[in-house]
């Protein structure tokens, strides 16, 4: 995962030295880890990221990162904010 800031700079999403972030059906906790990082960055780009309580990430963001997206897909800030505020649909 990469983050593009409003000034156009692209940065790798921060995470711990032994981890990397992705989305889609990767199994395990990966979607909630990505959701926790994005949730923190939406509020403060200078935050220190921790994955200790990733399962507390907003369920809507976790659901968004659990979906398959095309390679190179870009999710806008508006999309991320909407997902953060929207509970996932249940069937």
pLDDT of residue 57: 93
Instruction: Say yes or no to pLDDT of 5 above 90.
Output: no
Mapped to the 3 state alphabet, what secondary structure does 12-78 carry?
ECCCCCCCCCCCCCCCCCHHHHHHHHHHHHHHCCCCCCCCCCHHHCCHHHHHHHHCCCCCCCCCCHH
pLDDT of residue 73: 86
List, for residues 7-53, the tens digit of each pLDDT value: 888 887 777 666 667 666 655 568 888 899 999 999 998 888 888 88
pLDDT of residue 67: 86
List, for residues 64-82, the tens digit of each pLDDT value: 988 888 888 889 999 999 9
């Amino acid at each position: 995962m990469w983050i593009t800031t409003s000034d156009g700079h692209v940065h790798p999403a921060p995470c711990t030295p032994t981890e990397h972030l992705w989305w889609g059906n990767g199994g395990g906790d990966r979607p909630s880890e990505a959701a926790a990082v994005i949730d923190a960055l939406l509020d403060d780009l200078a935050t220190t990221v921790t994955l200790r309580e990733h399962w507390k990430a907003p369920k809507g963001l976790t659901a968004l990162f659990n979906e398959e997206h095309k390679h190179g897909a870009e999710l806008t800030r508006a999309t991320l904010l909407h997902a953060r505020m929207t509970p996932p649909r249940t069937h």
